[in-house]
Amino acid sequence: MLKSIALFIFLLTALSNKAIDHRERKNKPKYTNCSKKKDILTGKMIYTSFDELAVNKGGINLLYKAFGKLKIDSVPNGATTKFTIAFVVDVDGSISGERVIKDEVGNVGNQMIKIVKSFKWCPAICNGKQVATLYQIPLQICL
């Protein structure tokens, strides 16, 4: 009998805690701390935290597939085939502040930027609002 009462109290407590937690989650909307900073190159305010990342229309796989068309004439001795570019995806989906961060071969980063600019972009979203963000793309080409 004592075990039955203890089990009943445990179940009652467990169920009531879940109901309270569920109500609290429902009434308390989730907000992201939309941190932002000034982009040094463009002078624009860009968000460093957000709910949804900026994305090219067609998806990231389509973008990387387009990078398959990159042309490398020659690789200097000791150079790596790792490349990185960055750019700002503005609130309207336009691209600005393009920059080549790493390109030891030369001209590959510029080709990457040209490909990125050929896509339409959807801006990042923070708390339901479209925001500008800095987007960075690393790429390694295996020869």
pLDDT for 25 equals 39
pLDDT for 21 equals 38
DSSP state of 77: T
- Assigned token pair, 19: 């109901």
Contacts of 63 (CB under 8 A, 6+ apart): 56, 115, 116, 119, 137
Spatial separation of the C-alpha atoms in residues 52 and 27, rounded to whole Å: 22
Domain extents for the chain? 1-30, 31-140
Backbone angles phi, psi at 6, to 5 degrees: -65, -40
In the predicted model, residues of the chain with pLDDT beneath 50 are 1-28
Cβ atoms of residues 116 and 71 within 8 Å: no
Spatial separation of the C-alpha atoms in residues 97 and 124, rounded to whole Å: 16
| pTM of the predicted model as reported, rounded to 2 decimal places | 0.75
* 3 state SS of 67: helix
Backbone angles phi, psi at 95, to 5 degrees: -105, 135
Backbone angles phi, psi at 52, to 5 degrees: -130, 130
Cβ atoms of residues 64 and 73 within 8 Å: no
47-69 confidence digits (pLDDT tens): 999 999 999 999 999 999 999 99
Question: According to CATH, what is the number of the domain 31-140?
Answer: 3.30.2420
* 3 state SS of 126: strand
